[in-house]
Amino acid sequence: MIEGDRITHAQHGEGVVLKRNGVRARVLFDDGATIWAEVKDIVQLTTTKSYDVSAEPNPAAVARTAPSVTQNKPAVVPSVPAAVPSVPAVVPSVPAAVPRVPAAESSEAGDDERVPGSRLILPSDDPSEWAYVEEVLRAPINKLAELDVVLTKFAALDREPRTCSFFADIPGSAEAGTFDFDAFHASGLPLLLSLALAMPSLFAGVELPIFKTYSACMAVLDELTGHARLRVHRLTLSRRQCACLLAHSLLGSLKRPADVQPNDFRFTLSDLFIGTARSPNSATTVLNYFTMLGKHGIADETLTFERRGYPARGPTPWSWAHSDAPLCDVVITDGSLEDCAADVHAEFANAYVGGGVLTGDFAMEELLFLVKPELMVAMAVHNRMSDTEAVTVSGARQFSLISGYGSSFAYAGAYDGRRADPPPTVCAIDAIRGGGPAMTEAALLRDLNKARVAFDGAREVATGHWGCGAFGNNHDLMFIKQWMAASDAGVRTMHYHDFDRRQSHNVVPLSRKLRHMSVGQLWAFVRELTDDLQPANVAQFSIRIREIATGKRQVPSAQEAVARAIE
C-alpha cells in the first residue's frame, strides 16, 4: 500500500484475499476494529470500516492462529509536548508485562524478525537495569566536570571499563575551539538528562528492529507483471525518540545487544568522549545538537529510516539494456552538497552506515553525520549494507556548521538555516572499491544498481564524486553511473557537486555530447567503450572519455544509438 492509500474492508478473517482496483491485499489479522493487510508489499494498519471491497476466499489459506499483537501491530507513539521539559521528579518504570510492539513496517508480511540480533535492547526494557540507570542520571550535577562521573559509571559496566575525563579536560582548553560549554551546561545538559529519563514513556510498548544484512534482499514479485521489485523495510520515529536514543548513546547507557556482533553495533557516541577515539571537535559538534534542542525545543516531527533492496540473484527490478528513459538534466553546482535544494542528497557511505564517525574519522560521511546527528540513529537499526541494498533517512535536520575537512575539520557554530525546509532525504550508498576489475560488467552493474535503489522516487538528486576519494574510483565513470541511475529512476535534475574543478572537467562536455541518448543507449555505449578494457584498464578508459569530451572520438547519433542498443 502506498502512503495515503487505504484498505477498506468488511469483517473478514485471516487469509482472505481482498481486491481493490485489481490490487490484492491479504488479510493478516482482523479483530473487527482494525485490519492488518499486505498491499503492494508494505504492511500497514487502517481502521477504515467501509464496504467497497469485494472479497474472495483464499484457497491456499489454512487455519492458523491469528498473529499476535506482538508480531504485527505498529507502534502508537504517545504525543509529547514540543516544549523542553524539566527533569521529572519521578519517571515511571516500564511494567515487565508491557507487550513488545514493532515500530517498523515490513515489506513482507510473513517476516519473522525474531532472529538473533534483530531487536535493539533498550535500558528501560529491564526494570532492574533501568533502576540503576535512573539512579545514576538523577544524581545532582552542579559542575560540568561531574558529567564525567556519569559516563564513567556506565563505562564500568563494559567488558573493558574506561574512565571519562572529557568534561574536566576540554572546557576552557584550546581543544574546545569556539564551542560554548556554558551554553551546553545551561541548556543542553538539562535536556539531555531529561530525554534520557523519559525513555520508558517515549518507548512504552515499542519494539525497535535491527535490519540485518540481506534483510531487504528477499524476492518481491509484482503480481501483475511477475517482475522483481524493490523490497522496503521502514522505521518511523519521532524527533524526540531519536534524541532520547542519542542521549543514551552519548552517556553510554545504551549497550550492544548480546546477540549482535561487535562490528554490527557502532552506535556508541560515548566513544567520542572516552577512550582512544576521544575527539573534541566531533564531540563538541554533537553537544551543540543538544544545546540547540535545549534552547529551541524539539519539533513534533518524525524521521523515517528505510532499508531498500532486491535479490542478488535473478532479474533486477529494472533492465538497463531496455530502458528508454531519457537522460535527466545535469547541473554542475558549487558549494556544499548539504545546502542544495534537491529533495534527495546522496551520502557517500561506508557499507556500515555512518562509517567512522564515532571513531574519530572526518571524511564526507562522518562530517555529515556530525552536523546531522539524527542520522546516527541509522547506525543503531541498520547492519552492514549488502551490494544490493541502500539505506535512506528522511527528516534529519542540520544543527551545526563546520569548517575544514579531514584532520583540519573544526566545529564552527550553530546552523544558520540557510537551506529551506523540508529537510532532504539522505540516501547512503557505498561504492565498489577502485583498483579492482572496474571495467567488468559485474562491477559496472554493482554501482549502477546500488544508485538506482537509492534514487528511487526522487525528483531531484544532489550528488558528486561518489567513491572517488579513499575508494579511488574514476570520476567520469562514477558520474556516468549516477547519471544513468538517476535518469532511470525518473529524476528530473541531477545537481552534481564537483567541490573543485580539477576532477570534473569532463563532466560538462559529457553531459552535452551524450544528452540525446536514452539510458539504454548510453548503457550500450558504455559497454562498447569498456568491453576491451576488462578487467581494469581504467587509464585507457580515461583517455577515451577525454577524447569524447574534446570531440576527438565520435559519439553515436540518435539513430546509431538506437541501432547499437538493439544489437
Phi first, then psi: give them for residue 518, nearest 5 degrees. Answer: -90, 170
Low-confidence ranges of the chain (pLDDT < 50): 1-102, 108-113
* Residue 266 grid cell: 557502532
Q: Letter for the amino acid at 379?
A: M
> Helix, strand, coil shares of the chain as percentages rounded to 5?
35, 15, 50
Residue position matching grid coordinates 513534533: 300
> Which of the 8 DSSP states describes residue 119?
B
Q: How far apart are CA 554 and CA 547, in angstroms?
A: 8
CB 413 within 8 A of CB 177: no
Q: How far apart are CA 528 and CA 273, in angstroms?
A: 52
Separation in Å, CA 550 to CA 333, 502, 532, 555: 21, 16, 22, 11
What pLDDT was estimated at residue 87?
Answer: 35
Domain ranges of the chain: 1-60, 101-303
CA distance 485 to 503: 21
Other beta carbons within 10 Å of 252? 24
In this prediction, residue 471 carries a pLDDT of: 79
pLDDT score for 103: 58
The 10 Å Cβ neighbour count of residue 145 is: 16
Q: Is the dihedral of CA 162, 267, 118, 208 positive or negative?
A: positive
**What is the model's pLDDT at position 78?**
34
Predicted confidence at residue 383, as pLDDT, reads 95
- Residue 389 and residue 230 in contact, taking contact as beta carbons nearer than 8 Å: no
Q: 3-class DSSP state for residue 331?
A: strand
Distance CA 506, CA 518 (A): 20
How far is the C-alpha of 464 from the C-alpha of 484, rounded, in Å? 14
